[in-house]
Amino acid sequence: MDEVRTLSRRKPTGRTAGMRSAAAALLLAAACSADPARFPAEPLDPRGAGACALLDGAALAELELPARGEAGTDGGGDSCVWTGDDRRLWVVLYTGPEAYGDFLAEAERFGFRLEEFAGLPSYERASTGPPAFAVALASDARMTVAAEADPSAGAGRAAALRDEAAERIIAGLRGGPES
């Protein structure tokens, strides 16, 4: 996976973008051949939906979050933050030809172990902040999901909120029910 570090940080265009996507796909195949995280045979396409549209009103109600989130950008990605009485959920959606290459580069740079979440490559982002993880949706799309919850609700509540929201987003992108 050393090849990932050598990819240029310039925004690719035209032929360069296609070459980077192809290179990322090859790196993915090499990385996944020895790792349980496999890239999906049918990638998910979140383009056209902003981060705030990834969860519908029914899913947000079940997660005890308001129907409207606050849209923004975070690190070059489209983001949405929902703040409830005792919890907060962040979703950041990154799209573009460098999305998967950046996903692999971050995992390698910080020593995150590639795993699998809902059949997609993922890694948990170990940090001092709220529980977060990144999920690769396609060669040109990835998302980061993070959550905070009132500590009195239990130590694992934030991680459970994060996981449940991510499962609903992925199910929705697959065309199935979000619940």
Instruction: Establish if 134 belongs to a structural domain.
Output: yes
| Cα angle, residue 136 at apex, residues 34 and 79 outer, rounded to 5° | 155
* Confidence (pLDDT) at 64: 92
Give me the domain span that covers residue 139. Answer: 2-173
Distance from C-alpha of 10 to C-alpha of 120, rounded to nearest angstrom: 27
Residue 59 is assigned to a structural domain of this protein? yes
Question: Would residue 150 count as lying in a domain?
Answer: yes
Domain count, the chain: 1
pLDDT at 135: 92
Query: Mean pLDDT, to the nearest integer, of 25-54?
Result: 59
- Whether 141 is covered by a domain: the verdict is yes
Let me know if residue 92 belongs to a domain: yes
Kind and range of the H or E run holding 122: strand 120-125
pLDDT tens digits, 100-143? 888 999 889 888 888 988 888 999 876 666 778 899 998 888 99
Q: How many residues does the chain have?
A: 179
- Supply the mean pLDDT for the chain: 76
Backbone dihedral angles phi then psi of residue 19, each to the nearest 5 degrees:
-65, -40
- Residue 179 resides in a domain: no
Residue 13 buriedness (CB in 10 A; 0-12 / 13-18 / 19+): exposed
160 domain-assigned: yes
Let me know: does 144 contact 132? Beta carbons within 8 Å: yes
Distance CA 160, CA 150 (A): 12
Instruction: Give domain status of residue 21, yes or no.
Output: yes
pTM over 0.85: no
pLDDT in tens, 35-49: 434 555 566 877 777
pLDDT band of 74, cuts 50, 70, 90: confident
